[in-house]
Structure formats: structure tokens, C-alpha cells
Structure 1
């Protein structure tokens, strides 16, 4: 079940809407029983992306995001999506309140045969149509996720995920700037640095990665090991996320703290 709300900046409130609109920017985060991780990072990524897409004309993003936090139900698992859309003559903010799909523990990748066609790879939502197409192609090929490659064939990221891998105890990131600034990857890298785990960038084609453990990362599923590459291998080495996923889970904090009859946003 999904409900859609538009931001009324004049009255500082969210109101239900069924009007179709052109999506320009999106962001999503997982909420489990009123707790979320990386909310400040999601908020700032959304703010930064909106800046170059008319976001100021949509109103006060801070007040909008505070209203989002108050609107997401506390019990259960939710995957709210904030949007900047063209709502008629001017941009507007919207909120989709969605129940979260079940978390899955592993992923099978399919390599998209055509190079990255995204116009704005660093803006979440700008290329939803193409990313949806290649993910559908991946499912048709018996996989869960499409791997995006550059014009030179190097792995960039997944259609809905960031991709990282392990080589000789080093956490490796794609050596590309044409990637979404993933919140989950940022938190994982921070954990690696804090524990003294080496982190490095590496330019690699998918064929280079079939014999090393690969992970996909996103807000919904967290860390998932790659257990197969469609058309390349069905038996790659698998490294379970274990303590790394536990670390991410422990970062979840209440969206709202309540003291008596007062409620206030948690800033972090």
C-alpha cells in the first residue's frame, strides 16, 4: 500500500494527492519500527541533488523533511521515498509512504551489455526509466540486479545498488566518479576506516571480479553478497557481511524522540 503526499509550503503541511507528475530527484530510506540509519546523509544527498533541479522553488526543504519524519508510521517496516517533481507550473516536493519489501540476503548480477546511458549518474531519480529497463532485463536473464559498466567495460555500480568487492583483505570501490553518492557505501567505508581495514579504488571489468567476494549495497537491503554472475559464473567466492551488516543495523536511531507530550526531531 502506497500513499502519496504533496508539500504545501505556504501552510507548511503535507496533503494527499493523486496527480501525476514528472519525477526529477528521489531519495529513499528504510524505517523499521520508527528507527532509521543515515537519515542526515539521505537528507543532505536529496538537498544537494535538488539544488540544481529547481528545488528552491519547491519550498523549504528542511520543513518538508521534518514533516516527512512525522508522517512515516512508527510500527512496522517502511521505505518512504521523497521526491522533487514538476507539479504543474513549478517544482514541488512529494512523499510516497510505502511498506518496505522483504529484505533479501543475497543477489545475483547480470552485466548490462550496453555501456552506461545515464545522463546524471550522481543524481538519484534522474535516470529511473533506463535503470528500470536494465533491471527488468536482469530479471529476465535470471538475475536480481543489473551491473552498469562504463564505455570501456569497467564496473560502475548496480541499477539499484552500489557494488564493492574484497581483494586480499582490502575493501575495493569502483574507480569511477560517475556513481551515485551512496549513503550505505559511505557508512560502510567509515566503518572500515574506523576499524583499520584498508580501502582502495580499483578499475575492474566484471570478468576481473568472478573470483573475489563482491557485495551490493543499498538502503533497503543493506549489504548483500553476490552469489552468481549470469553468463559468467554460478559459483563465485562468497563473503558474508556478518559484523559489517550488524554495524550498519546498529546505526539506526529513532526518527522522533518523545518526552512527555512533546515530540522533537532527532538531529544527527
Structure 2
């Protein structure tokens, strides 16, 4: 990993582990990304406008252009963050895409303190996974007090009821990838509805894990204690995955 701080240009620094006031990240493959402008908009909505460049100066044109110059070839998972008033960039290698996702479900207190902002709860979410996640699963569900699934600690969740895309009806991070999927569903004439996405419904309805690192990753199983819920496959999952991976620009 290479880490940088913005000081009118990027300066290399030791790795940044937080705490973060706000952060954002995405897969960046061979100089391309899917929905990068949406990630930058979400970040700027909390962190404030990113620095612009100097028209006549020798420095890069601004934060974004300077960042892109550091994201060359390879499969990367960059993270931008605001920490103690300082803008940071971590250039990290990306893991392989996860074609399916196995989840742990637990009815435990919500660890989030700022659920609408990515970054401040990273440490609490790591502790939550460490405490509850069942070995062999990829992520842990966060549920509301009534037991409905809201999201996982590193991604969004959606459920399908026929041609209706069911979005969790509760407090969750405004996911860029979920927004992309919901927009396409609406464009295709499908219904997009907020609903209580309860784990027991997953036995009869396809569930997808969504984030900008793995794209659309169908949920293969949900572990609830010693029980295993196996959601059915969505018939068009492969086509949706190909659509998302085709969106890198």
C-alpha cells in the first residue's frame, strides 16, 4: 500500500489507519472505474469540495487529477479520506472479485453511530465482524431492532420478489452500487420498493450483496447460528453482473 496526504499536491506519508471523518473507496482497474463521479460526490457531500488546481502553476490540476495520476495499471482499491482535517489517499491492491457472498446474520446491537456517512464507523464495524462473524462467511449483516436486514458491514443488500427490487426499509448508507442497480431496474420498467428484508424471506427470494469492490455478488448462504438459509439464484444474475462490470470507464 502507498499512502499520501494532500498538501497542494500529493506527498507520500506513512499508512493511514484512521480515525476517518469520512472516507470512500472503489475498484480501479487498469485506469478505469465504475461510477467514480458518484463516489466523489458522496465524499464531497460530507467532506466538502475537493481542492481545485492551479491554472498557471506547476502542480497537478487538482486533487482528482493528482489522484488519477497515482492510479496507474493494475487492479487497485484506492481510498480517499478526511482525517483530522487532512485529505488522504491510500493506494491499495484490490482482492479478486467475489462472485458470490456468504453472510452471517446476527440479532445484535447496531454498531453504527453515523450510518449515513462512510468512514467514522470503520473501527466499530471491524469489531462487530470480529465478534459475530461465523468462520467461512464473508461479511456480517446489520439488522434493525425488529430483525430486518439493513445492510452488511462492507456493502448493501437487496432482495428480489419476482421483478420487484426490494430495498431495505430502514437506516443504511447511501450505496453507490445499490443506486446504480436501482436506477437500471427502474429503467427496465421494474418496480423498486422499500421493504422489510427479513432473513427468513431469503429462503424464497434471491438476495444480492452490492458494493463497488465486488459489484453484484449474489448471496449464496446466510448463516443464522447453526442454521443455513440458501437464497435461490436470480435467473438474470449473470447478465446483471456483466452489465455492472461493463460500466468501467
TM superposition score normalised by structure 2: 0.89
Could you tell me which of 13, 34, 37 is aligned with 1:17? 13
Q: Indicate the SS of the match to 2:147.
A: coil
* CA pair 114-247 structure 1, distance change in 2 beyond 3 A: same
For the pair 1:60 / 2:51, whether they are aligned, the reply is yes
What displacement does 1:194 show?
Answer: 1.3
Match of 1:227 among 220, 231, 234: 220
- Name the structure 1 match of 2:23: 26
**Is the contact made by 1:135 and 1:144 (CA closer than 8 Å) also made in structure 2?**
no
Query: Is 2:174 the partner of 1:181?
Result: yes
Give the gaps of 5 or more residues in structure 1.
254-268
CA shift for structure 1 position 19: 6.7
Instruction: Establish whether residue 36 from structure 1 lines up as the match of residue 33 from structure 2.
Output: yes
Aligned with 1:187: secondary structure? helix
For residues 33 and 19 of structure 1, the distance between their equivalents in structure 2, rounded to whole angstroms, comes to 23
Match of 1:248 among 229, 240, 244: 244
1: CA distance between counterparts of 2:145 and 2:104? 17
The equivalent of 2:58 in structure 1 is none
* Residues in 2 aligned to 1:246 and 1:194: alpha-carbon distance in whole angstroms: 17
Q: CA deviation at 1:134?
A: 2.3
For residue 6 of structure 1, report the CA deviation from its aligned partner.
0.2
1:206 Cα deviation (Å)? 1.6
The answer as to whether partners of 1:142 and 1:230 remain within 8 angstroms in 2 is: no
Q: Does 1:81 align with 2:73?
A: no
In 1, the alpha carbon distance for the partners of 2:118 and 2:161 equals 29
Contact preservation (8 Å) 1:112, 1:134: no
* Superposed counterparts of 1:1-268, under 5 Å: 2-8=1-7, 12-18=8-14, 22-51=19-48, 60=51, 63-73=62-72, 75-86=73-84, 91-176=85-170, 178-231=171-224, 232-239=227-234, 241-253=237-249
Give the drift of 1:234.
4.6
Q: Distance in 2 between matches of 1:207 and 1:234?
A: 8
Other structure's SS at 1:118 match:
coil
State the distance in 1 between where 2:177 and 2:135 align: 27
Compare 41-50 and 132-141 and name the one that shifted more: 132-141
Q: 1:172 to 1:4 in 2, by over 3 A?
A: same
- Residues 161 and 217, structure 1, Cα contact 8 Å, conserved in 2: yes
Runs of 5+ unmatched residues, structure 2: 54-61
User: Is the CA contact 1:6–1:14 (under 8 Å) kept in the aligned structure 2?
Assistant: yes
Match of 1:260 in 2: none
Distance 1:128 1:61 in 2: 28
Residues 137, 224 of structure 1: CA spacing in aligned structure 2 closer, same or farther, 3 A cutoff?
A: farther
Cα shift readout 1:218-240 (whole Å, capped 9, x = no counterpart): 00000111111113425321226
